[in-house]
Structure 1
Amino acid sequence: MTQKPSSSGTRPLEELGAEVRAAVARVYRRFRSERPAGELGDAAMSVLVYLERQGPQSLTALSERDRVTPGTMSQTVNRLTSAGYAVRNPDPVDRRRVLFSATDAGSAVAKESRARAESWLNAQIAALTDEERELLSRASVVLKRLADG
């Protein structure tokens, strides 16, 4: 496969894409390695942290946020409710719908997981130069835009 330079002529887009994917994957693996063995899986932890931060959510809202089918999300919230980390409650506006909320135990697990990940990342960022921190700040804006696109 021939790699063509980007429109700015700096480097091939395919090469840059591969490097970004590899870097994001490595950071993701490091975050995962900071979690103790036996903790919730990635999907369940992501939903739990979201519920803890954003409050009650419908199955549809959770599915759309994670870009998964309602059936897949149903399995995830079932794991959380079975573990006592989330509860189902009727929607006060539309009693036909169910909203999921984090329990006190679920909130504690989510906060601890987030604190461990943030502690590791903050220590890594603290070791960077001012110029590297500025570059990382600009790159984070671009990465968010890529993730939302």
Structure 2
Amino acid sequence: MNEQQDDADIARALALAGELRVLSGKLKRRMREEANLGDLTWSQTRVLSVLEREGPTTVTALARAEGVRPQSMGETVSVLKAAGLVSGEPDPADGRQTVLSLTAACRKAIKAGRAAREDWLFRAIRAKLAPAEQKKLATAVELLKRVLDGGNVPEDSGAGR
């Protein structure tokens, strides 16, 4: 009986993993639809994310971080510069290099995009979920945090039984 329960737990966890993967993809696409910086490619978006998260850096460092050639990264950065999203200043330590950073307009657009996505999600939660369901969603969010943070699971929490 214990082996049957283990098999059932494994099957349930596997099905849940598949559903979460599909749902997270749908959520990500929907959030992207709600607010974006225009018709940016995936690699352009990645560069903006790296610059926002890690701060100013060079084309060479960006290329290394993204696993592409510096020439390819240079092309990506050129498009972002032309769009007014990235600016460059000479590297004080090495004048041959340029230190790239997000422009104020880009930071403002990123902030507005986040606010628009959060507003859409807020409105969807309020419109489609009853208060009791919102509490369940909050519990699910805490569980997802634990999954993502690698927190320990109690040996026998009785979850799902």
**Alignment map for 1:44-83 (pairs within 5 Å):** 44-52=44-52, 54-63=54-63, 67-71=66-70, 72-83=72-83
Where do 5+ consecutive residues of structure 1 fail to align?
Answer: none
Q: Closer, same or farther in 2 for the Cα pair 1:99/1:22, shift >3 Å? A: same
**Alignment map for 1:8-23 (pairs within 5 Å):** 9-12=8-11, 14-23=14-23
Where do 5+ consecutive residues of structure 2 fail to align?
Answer: 151-161
Q: Closer, same or farther in 2 for the Cα pair 1:55/1:88, shift >3 Å? A: same
What TM-score do you get using the length of structure 2 for normalisation? 0.64
Which amino acid is the alignment partner of residue 9 of structure 2?
Answer: T
Q: Which has more radius of gyration?
A: 2
Q: Secondary structure at the match of 1:122?
A: helix
Q: Secondary structure at the match of 2:92?
A: coil
Give the Cα–Cα distance (whole angstroms) in 2 for the partners of residues 68 and 133 of structure 1. Answer: 37
What TM-score do you get using the length of structure 1 for normalisation? 0.68
Taking only the aligned residue pairs, the percentage that are identical comes to: 30
Contact 1:84 1:103 in 2 (8 A): yes
Q: How many residues align?
A: 140
Q: Closer, same or farther in 2 for the Cα pair 1:16/1:136, shift >3 Å? A: same
Give the Cα–Cα distance (whole angstroms) in 2 for the partners of residues 90 and 54 of structure 1. Answer: 18
Q: Secondary structure at the match of 2:84?
A: coil
Q: Closer, same or farther in 2 for the Cα pair 1:8/1:41, shift >3 Å? A: same
